[in-house]
Amino acid sequence: MAGIKDILKNDPRGLVARAYGFSELAHKDQKRKSGEAYFMHPLAAAEILHAWHLDDTTIAAGLLHDTVEDTGASLDQIRKEFGEDVAFLVDGVTKLGHIKYRGAAMKVENLRKMVLALSKDLRVVFIKLADRLHNMRTLDALPPAKQKRIALETDEIYAPLAYRLGMQNLAGELHDLAFPYLYPEEDRWLKKSVEEQYEKRLAYLEQIKPELERILKAHEVTPRTIDFRAKRYSSLYHKLLSHEMNIEKIHDLVAMRVILDTVPECYAALGAIHQAWPPLPGRIKDYIAMPKPNSYRSLHTTVIGPGEKVIEIQIRTKEMHDANEHGIAAHWLYDQKKTGGETAPKNIARELQWVEQLKNWQETYRGAETNPEEFLQAMKIDFFKDRIFAITPRGDVIDLPKDATPIDFGYHIHSVIGDTAVGAKVNHQIVPLDHKLSSGDLVEIVTQKNKKPSEDWLIFVKTAAAREHIRAALRTKKNTLSAQRVPTKMELKITVQNRLGLLKDISEIIARSHINILGVNSTTHPGGHFGVMKIQCGIADREKIEKLILKIKKLKEVREIGFKLI
Ligand code: MN
């Protein structure tokens, strides 16, 4: 496959060639932790960007992405040598490098939004993703603590971001690369238990492949290719968590993939397969008529094949396949072709398909609170023109509307902080309470016990939540009784690695939190390493429940925990 070397050969004085020379020289005396020359890293990132079919500006910026942060080169120098666009991209990637995710307390979605807000031009995100992919591929060389942090950040921020951008393959690879660092024990268990199953499945599919070809041929459908897709370990693990760790229940451990030329052929193939092998009810998915929120398109079906074995089959065109693998980068390529090589990447957000994709992207995010209409509106103009992202002293990112003040910020964290606010600091400087916050501001609220909000705060606050809290506090004692109907019980669902006495330990933690246990169901599987406990308890307030969950999570046998009110 053609790579950066070919670009250099074809255009030895072009943008990419000059960026190559500049970066190689700038990193000349640096080594990576692995002992390799540092330049290997930006070069690898640029190769990845090239493989994603991105333009020369992006590839040049990929080569230069670490020069400002890690060498004597300045942004001005980059601007003079390579122009405004390259400098803008390098600057964006440098800024993204300053965000450090340490898990737990951080609002993950806000952080992802901040990544986008700081990016403005999506090509910044592509470079960051290429940078991260190469770093993950070479994570072995780093000290363990750093490996963990980078793997966690990759798993929770960058892989989901790639998935949202439709870059399915990349998202899967990032999750897989992070998995052994985050779950070393599970990784070993999984590899051991899956290997045999996996090989058996593969041998079976190889064996029935000619039969599938005959079936299709009888219906005058000629596939471009038929291959096999092994489920990734990381996604297999998450699927196992919701299937009680029972590998027998996973039908798509290895799926068959049929690539065709046209959409009618896809449906014809589906019909032909169903005539030969009966489909399992409820398992036929038409993601061509109804694409997934991230634009994924394909037909999926699960059938009972020869020897009564369950097979998952995915059917799609070559174009869908490429788009599924490369996501937005692939759309970007098509757009570039449409405009006859004249690129206008900053306008790409105006492409309908694209905006639609980002809209869906937001709508489906679990736990998203933002109104999709509002989100779309913000997207159209300038990713997040109407939002700002302020940071708490603990490093949480708080998402607020434009022109929000420290009072809005305070109420967003907790009503008590808002109610008792007497002063504020922004980036360590004292500011008035009606100060307008900007993205990236580090905000501290100074509080004083028993203070009450002032009526004139109502004039400058921007969020409805702050306004409501202020009004409520001003009304004070009036009508504090509310007639809300409350559920009476809650149920904790805990996926665990079995250990004698574990249930007792968990029960004790619950009891110590002053929560009553009303009933317990525990399922363990024969020969099973893992099981699920369902514990019904009396109800507690949200804060108490969250504290309890954190405590239970600390037990090393606990893999997943959730709760619902019943
Ligand atoms: Mn880098």
pLDDT, one tens digit per residue, over 442-467 is: 899 999 988 889 888 988 898 888 88
Backbone angles phi, psi at 393, to 5 degrees: -60, -25
Q: Is 342 a catalytic residue?
A: no
Residue 439 DSSP class: T
Chain centroid to CA 480: how far?
41
β partners of residue 490? 537, 565
Query: Ligand 1 centroid to 65 CA: how many Å?
Result: 6
Query: Ligand 1 centroid to 334 CA: how many Å?
Result: 28
Query: Ligand 1 centroid to 500 CA: how many Å?
Result: 46
**Residue with tokens 């997040």, as numbered in its chain:** 384
CA distance 64 to 62: 5
Query: Ligand 1 centroid to 127 CA: how many Å?
Result: 9
pLDDT at 566 over 60: yes
Q: Model's pTM, two decimal places?
A: 0.61
Query: Ligand 1 centroid to 416 CA: how many Å?
Result: 42
- Greater confidence (373 vs 388) lies with 388
Q: Which residues contact 273 (CB under 8 A, 6 or more apart)?
A: 212, 215, 216, 279, 301, 303, 313, 315
Options 36, 69, 76, 211, the catalytic residue: 69
β partners of residue 398? 390
Tens-digit pLDDT profile for residues 500-525: 888 889 999 998 888 888 888 887 66
Query: Ligand 1 centroid to 194 CA: how many Å?
Result: 34
Query: Ligand 1 centroid to 153 CA: how many Å?
Result: 15
Query: Ligand 1 centroid to 148 CA: how many Å?
Result: 17
The b-or-e profile of 400-434 (16+ CB within 10 A means b, else e) is: beeebbbbbbbbbeebebbbbbeebbbeeeebebe
CA distance 503 to 270: 48
β partners of residue 310? 304
8 A C-beta contact, residue 556 and residue 502: no
Euclidean distance between the first and the last CA atom of the chain, given in angstroms as a whole number: 57
Backbone angles phi, psi at 497, to 5 degrees: -90, 125
Provide the 3-class DSSP secondary structure of residue 505.
Answer: helix
Band of pLDDT at residue 248, cut at 50, 70 and 90: confident
The stretch 306-322 carries a mean pLDDT of 90
Q: Is 70 a catalytic residue?
A: yes
Band of pLDDT at residue 483, cut at 50, 70 and 90: very low
The stretch 325-336 carries a mean pLDDT of 55
Query: Ligand 1 centroid to 131 CA: how many Å?
Result: 5
Query: Ligand 1 centroid to 465 CA: how many Å?
Result: 40
Mean pLDDT of the chain: 81
Predicted confidence at residue 23, as pLDDT, reads 96
CA-CA-CA-CA dihedral for 321, 327, 333, 337, to nearest 10: 60
- Greater confidence (388 vs 131) lies with 131
Predicted confidence at residue 526, as pLDDT, reads 57
Q: What single-letter amino acid sits at 474?
A: L
Tens-digit pLDDT profile for residues 80-113: 999 998 998 898 888 777 666 655 444 555 565 5
Provide the 3-class DSSP secondary structure of residue 283.
Answer: coil
Helix (H) or strand (E) holding 93: helix 84-96
Tens-digit pLDDT profile for residues 378-397: 333 234 456 677 878 876 67
Options 24, 70, 356, 386, the catalytic residue: 70
Predicted confidence at residue 406, as pLDDT, reads 97
Least Cα distance to 18 among 48, 69, 75, 57 occurs for 57
Tens-digit pLDDT profile for residues 407-444: 999 999 999 999 999 999 997 889 999 999 987 778 99
Query: Ligand 1 centroid to 184 CA: how many Å?
Result: 25
Least Cα distance to 436 among 414, 473, 399, 462 occurs for 462
CA distance 108 to 116: 13
pLDDT at 18 over 50: yes
**Residue with tokens 């109407």, as numbered in its chain:** 386
Percent share of the chain, pLDDT over 90: 37
8 A C-beta contact, residue 178 and residue 139: no
pLDDT at 139 over 70: yes
Query: Ligand 1 centroid to 118 CA: how many Å?
Result: 17
Q: Where are the alpha helices (DSSP H) in 365-426?
A: 372-382, 406-413, 415-419
Predicted confidence at residue 111, as pLDDT, reads 60
Band of pLDDT at residue 372, cut at 50, 70 and 90: very low
Query: Ligand 1 centroid to 376 CA: how many Å?
Result: 31
8 A C-beta contact, residue 428 and residue 398: no
pLDDT at 121 over 60: yes
Dihedral class, residue 340 (left if φ above 0, else alpha if ψ from -120 to 50, else beta): left
